[in-house]
């Protein structure tokens, strides 16, 4: 079974975030869920991003990296949207990563190095018409990552919602979330 370090999105550790982590745990995986917002949650993406801006994105990324320091190195690093930043950084820079799961976001590989590390498989999940994912460069970065290595998979879902796998938010899409979860569990079964 895999050990997963899972980072929350800009609305914080919502009940839907916890439900997703619990689903992975029920499948037998160990899931670590550091709270980068100190228990705060937000009613909208905009409010959460405003908080992240106030705290500082670098500060949040550093807190995510610190969360990994006491954990084994052979983790699967996973993140939802804002949480992709520390997850992707750790997957690319911390030796021993066993995989990465990037939900709703993907940064250019050059943010944290020159290429995706050999031996680190990655899945990227997003909706094809999500304005945050499709229109702000994340989809392009995901396609570039997939083109650069045979270890990367991009899964596009039909729709325009950003947090579509968070069952506690209005953006939830049950069919897409079920498919995402099945693909994630298949990925983790091989770790």
- For each of the domains in the chain, give its residue range(s) and CATH number, in order of start: 3-189 (3.40.50.1820)
Cα-to-chain-centroid distance, residue 89:
11
pLDDT in tens, 99-124: 999 999 999 999 999 999 999 999 99
pLDDT in tens, 89-104: 999 999 999 999 999 9
Dist. CA 174–CA 116, nearest whole Å: 31
The Cα 169–Cα 143 span in angstroms is 27
What is residue 152's three-state secondary structure? strand
* pTM, two decimal places: 0.97
The pLDDT assigned to 190 comes to 87
Residue 46 and residue 54: Cα distance in Å, rounded? Answer: 12
Q: Mean pLDDT across the stretch 129-134?
A: 97
Q: Which two tokens stand for residue 125?
A: 């999940």
CA distance 163 to 157: 12
In the predicted model, what is the mean pLDDT of residues 69-84?
97
């Amino acid at each position: 079974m895999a050990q997963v370090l899972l980072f929350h999105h800009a609305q914080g550790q919502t009940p839907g975030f916890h439900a997703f982590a619990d689903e992975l745990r029920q499948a037998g995986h160990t899931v670590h869920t550091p709270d980068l917002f100190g228990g705060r949650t937000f009613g909208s993406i905009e409010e959460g991003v405003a908080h992240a801006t106030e705290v500082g994105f670098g500060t949040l990324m550093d807190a995510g990296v610190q969360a990994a320091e006491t954990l084994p190195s052979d983790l699967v690093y996973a993140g939802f949207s804002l949480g992709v930043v520390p997850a992707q950084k750790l997957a690319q820079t911390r030796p021993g990563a066993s995989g990465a799961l990037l939900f709703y976001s993907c940064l250019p590989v050059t943010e944290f190095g020159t290429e995706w590390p050999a031996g680190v498989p990655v899945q990227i999940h997003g909706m094809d018409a999500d304005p945050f994912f499709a229109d702000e460069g994340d989809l392009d970065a995901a396609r570039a990552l997939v083109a650069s290595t045979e270890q990367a998979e991009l899964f596009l879902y039909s729709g325009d919602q950003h947090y579509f796998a968070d069952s506690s938010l209005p953006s939830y899409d049950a069919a897409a979330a079920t498919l995402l979860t099945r693909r994630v569990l298949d990925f983790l079964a091989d770790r």
